[in-house]
Amino acid sequence: QRVGYAVVGLGHLALENILPAFGRSRKSKLVALVSGSPQKLQKVAQQYGVRPENCYSYDTYDQLRDNPEVQVVYIVLPNAMHAEYTIRGAQAGKHILTEKPMATSSADCQAMIDACNKAGRKLMVAYRIQYEPHNRYVREQIRQKEYGAPKFIELFNAQQEANPNHWRHIRALAGGGALPDIGLYCLNTARFILGEEPTEVFAYQYSTPGNPLFREVEEVMSWQMRFPSGLITNCGAHYYAHESRRYRVLAERGWLNLENAFAYNGLELQRSYAEGQTEHRDQISLMEKDQFATEMDHFSDCVQQNKQPFTPGEEGLQDHRIMEAIYQSAQTGKPVSLPLITKLDPFR
């Protein structure tokens, strides 16, 4: 028995990645669609065999309450809309899978967590990297201290956006620029592979004057994070540079380098390690999986077996708290401390 999903918002990610991924999932099925465009709804519903009575607008969204076929609502809307549609979805009795970033403020994240708790529904943030085999492999190598203790990590994510009128460039809808959209991958992945939480951040922010793309949101955010183990990360997110999504973990006796680390496919993992006086370098090949099908199936498992998702709302809340500290540091020019959080089970 597969878990029934309603997908909310039929933009690029939904049309190009999420809807096709249902065909590769084992535990999740598409049963309903929510969109503001009746024409798009009709076309997409026909393409995916969704019945007309299972097509909703943003106004009729709350009527999902009366549709027992839908167990999960997957929110794929502009960032600032995630909170409202999570809260309304939970109130309609549905479990919620929301796209990243979870919201546009930590206060909204908390309200989303509270609403889902109150309704007794599950909440998961779609951090697909945490379900991706290469990134999980790196995390396991760090956990086992395969090359000794990790000492330094550099992560960056760069891409170019072209349309200044797109919601990603409007602060009220996006919440910020390069940081919450693509820098979040650096932040969340660092926390994920290390299994510890940063205690201090220091950041620089810049936007080219006069570029209409960056009237409201930042072009580049560059920041460092200090972790309790003594490890330091260097992170960078750029909205106006040739696409590049990679990180490198330096450990005592080796390094791991993941190219296309945050991409949907084409990830390339290289390593270098020392054995006595000899240095080895090779490539590690791992099977790729459809990242969207994998994360949806994980959530379906959680719903069916009443388990806590691997990336619950609290995971998104923590990222937002850290992003708020990063903005504060960039604005004040000073490091910002974060409360010491000891993960009970860092490698859950």
Residues engaged in binding ligand NAD (CB under 6 A): 9-14, 36, 76-79, 99-100, 126, 128, 167, 173, 181
- Residue closer to ligand NAD (CB basis): 76 or 235: 76
14 exposed, middle or buried (CB, 10 Å; 0-12, 13-18, 19+)?
buried
Nearer to ligand NAD, 84 or 154 (CB): 84
Q: Which is nearer to ligand NAD, 101 or 198 (CB)?
A: 101
Q: What is the nearest approach in angstroms of ligand NAD to the Cβ of residue 82?
A: 6
Residue with tokens 């797109």, as numbered in its chain: 166
Overall residue count recorded for the chain in this entry: 348
Contacts of 249 (CB under 8 A, 6+ apart): 138, 142, 150, 152, 153, 193, 255, 256, 257
What is the nearest approach in angstroms of ligand NAD to the Cβ of residue 168?
7
Q: 9 — phi, psi (to 5°)?
A: 100, 115
DSSP state of 2: P
Other beta carbons less than 10 A from residue 38's beta carbon: 10
**Is 343 among the residues known to form the active site?**
no
Find the shortest distance in angstroms from Cβ 171 to ligand NAD.
Answer: 13
Chain position whose Cβ is nearest to ligand NAD: 11
What sections of 236-305 are H helices per DSSP?
291-305
CB of 91 to ligand NAD, least distance (A): 19
Minimum distance from CB of 339 to ligand NAD (Å)? 27
Q: Considering 27, 29, 94, 100, which one is annotated as catalytic?
A: 100
Least distance in angstroms from the C-beta of 323 to ligand NAD: 13
In terms of CB distance, is 167 or 273 closer to ligand NAD? 167
Cβ closest to ligand NAD, residue 11 vs residue 195: 11
Mapping DSSP to helix (H, G, I), strand (E, B) and coil, where does residue 1 land?
Answer: coil
For residue 274, list its beta bridge partners.
279
Taking the C-alpha atoms of residue 253 and residue 203, their distance in angstroms, rounded to an integer, is 29
C-beta closer to ligand NAD: residue 111 or 250: 111
Q: What are the backbone angles phi and psi of residue 341, rounded to the nearest 5°?
A: -115, 120
Q: In a 3-state reduction of DSSP, which class is residue 114?
A: helix
> What letter does residue 212 receive in the DSSP assignment?
G
Beta bridge partners of 245: 157
H or E segment to which residue 200 belongs:
strand 200-206
State the catalytic residues: 100
